Structure 1
Amino acid sequence: MHRLQPTPLVFSALLLLVLASLRDRRRWWRTLKRLRFLLLALVFVYGWSTPGLRLVAWLWAPTEEGLRSGALQAMRLVGMLASLHCLLAGLGHERIFAGLYTLAAPLALFGAWRERCALRLVLTMDYAEALLAAPQVLRSNWRAWLDGDDGAPVGPVRLTVLPLSGWQRGLCAALLAAIGLILTGVGW
């Protein structure tokens, strides 16, 4: 999404927006509702901080280039969030975490404990979902939340590792090799 020109960016973001709303409309609109101030802030910050031709002859007017850049950044953010929403809705948490766990296998060469990292990610996502499912607890009793009584119990968490087939292993190896080449700067 980051490297797309404006016209393909708008079309792909709109397509992803439609796909995300078809997947789980209520959850997607709740996400957009929470992001509305961030999206507006992007447009305004770019509008007043990017040099260019002012919209009107006032001293504090936003620039046309800035508003366009802010709108494009907002579209990039909405497109990436919509694609993430489609991915989460299509695969489910267990398959995503199993995939991340499998992709993190080479990190063991550097001394990273992928079991702990994957478990922390699973716990964080489950805890965040439990908090988002009951937001009235945080709004009505913020002092209890600060004391640690958030009222959002998290059930037992299990990390399942899914076996990979031969072509999936080859695809993971190619993906990791491409990431390694990009990180080392080979081919630029």
Structure 2
Amino acid sequence: MFPHPLIRVLSLLVMIVALAWGQPAVIAGASFVVALLLWRSGMEARRAAARLVRRLRWFFLSIVVVFGWFTPGVPALDVPALAAWLPTWEGLAAGGLRIGALALIAAAVAVCLVLTPQAALVGALRDLATPLSWLGLSRDRFAVRIGLTLAAVTALRDSPGIQAEPAAGSPWHRAASVGRVLYARALSKGETAPCEPVVIEILSPPAPWEWAIPLGLALLCGALAQM
């Protein structure tokens, strides 16, 4: 039995904030939590997590390059003649921590999206945005915008693969060609898409004991960060 949608989203935000610090102990603790979630959530959630992490592979590679080659430290290989061209152990370690944190965040987000229906997720975000009403802003409008964004992302994800005409030249030219096709598709969908209502589920309050989940997670991450 998984907790209330609001508790899920709040716990996810706590984990994201904790992992953003890149502390090894926090990453190790979050690895255990995410592994437990993947084990309990079923095959669909595991496949979604693997797919989302795989889509970040080129971003992970850029992290390795930036941290590995631009962080001062001991060269990864003991070859003095190539020392200026080699990554450093310190950079590779720092980059590895960032990659691990991002992979855990992506997996946790994928699990949350699979296990939480879209209407319930939007309702949870609406409740989470309650402080906006204290500032005179509309949390319902915020929730509607989130719902429209989720619907657009889902439609784009489920659409057939982008087919662009072969472009000569560097990979940057091919990427620009794909970008043009994607932009044209977005314009076409925006002009032809029918107006559909956005369903926002008005959630009942979480059980009192459920608030202990994000609170305990925050305390655990804080304790691990001090190690």
TM-score tier, shorter chain, comes to 0.7 to 0.9
TM-score by length of 2: 0.63
Give the aligned residue type for 1:67: L
- Counterpart residue number, 1:115: 140
In the TM superposition, what are the counterparts of 1:1-188 in structure 2 within 5 Å?
A: 1-3=19-21, 5-6=23-24, 9-10=27-28, 12-13=30-31, 16=34, 19=38, 22-56=43-77, 57=80, 58=82, 59-136=84-161, 138-140=162-164, 142-143=180-181, 145-146=183-184, 148-150=187-189, 156-164=197-205, 167=208, 171=211
State the alpha-carbon separation in 2 of the partners of residues 165 and 8 from structure 1. Answer: 27
Number of residue-to-residue matches in the alignment: 173
Q: Alpha-carbon deviations, 1:43-88, whole Å to 9, x = none? A: 1210011111111331111100000100110000011111111222
Determine helix, strand or coil for the equivalent of 1:139: coil
TM-score scaled by length of structure 1: 0.75
C-alpha displacement of 1:140: 3.8
Give the counterpart letter for 1:99 in structure 2: A
Identity level (%)? 28
The range that moved more, 145-154 or 71-80, is 145-154
What amino acid is the match of 1:161? I
Deviation at 1:99, TM superposition (A): 1.3
- Corresponding letter in the other structure for 1:87: C
Distance in 1 separating the partners of 2:65 and 2:119? 39
The change in CA–CA distance for 1:167 and 1:133 in structure 2 (over 3 A counts) is: same
SS of residue paired to 1:24 = helix
Q: CA RMSD in A?
A: 3.4
Q: What are structure 1's unaligned runs of at least 5 residues?
A: 179-188
- Report the AA paired with residue 16 of structure 1: V
Q: Secondary structure at the match of 1:65?
A: helix
Give CA-to-partner distance per residue, 1:105-164, whole Å, 9 cap, x none.
22111121111111001100110110011142x434855842711499575421121122
CA distance 1:14–1:134, shift in 2 (3 Å) = farther
Distance in 2 separating the partners of 1:133 and 1:166: 35
In the aligned structure 2, how far is the partner of 1:171 from the partner of 1:25?
26
Structure 2 gap segments, 5+ residues each: 1-18, 166-179, 219-227
Is the CA contact (8 Å cut-off) linking 1:104 and 1:114 kept in structure 2? yes
Is 2:68–2:90's contact at 8 Å kept on the other side of the alignment? yes
Change (3 A) 1:87 1:46: same
